[in-house]
Amino acid sequence: MSVAVDVAVERGRLGMPQGLAESAARAVLRAEGVQDAALSIAFVSSRTIAALNRKHLGHRGATDVISFGFRPAAGAPLTGDIYIAADVARGAARERKITLREELVRLVVHGTLHVLGYDHPDDESRVASPMWRQQERLVARVLRSARR
């Protein structure tokens, strides 16, 4: 059993070390007791994520994160793809008055939780959902570890 996390950046600078993205995903998997997984995390342009959003979810425009989790047969590793739009994250970070690094970590954690099967309501009540609470605990843990 093993955990593999691959991080790729489509273009430009990310706003945090790629290793931090990998560490954040691994922290989620560890916290959830996952010992056998393969995740890819791609930081993509707003244009790319908008195309993915339209093609796979039927929504128009760019979003911050899209996740695809694949639950194979029993005994097979968890597999998932996470796409994050750093430009969208940059705008959200400015709006929320937090660092881009924190917002990107949050999106990695959020996407990984979705791959694991977590979900949340689409309205304002999502911040009270079990997924959101777990997300925020894990974001705080990852950021604390990164400061050490």
Element (H, E) at 3: strand 3-9
| C-alpha–C-alpha distance, residues 144 and 148, integer Å | 7
pLDDT digits (tens, 9 = 90+) for 123-136: 788 787 889 999 99
- Retrieve residue 107's tokens: 């999106």
pTM (two decimals): 0.92
pLDDT of residue 136: 95
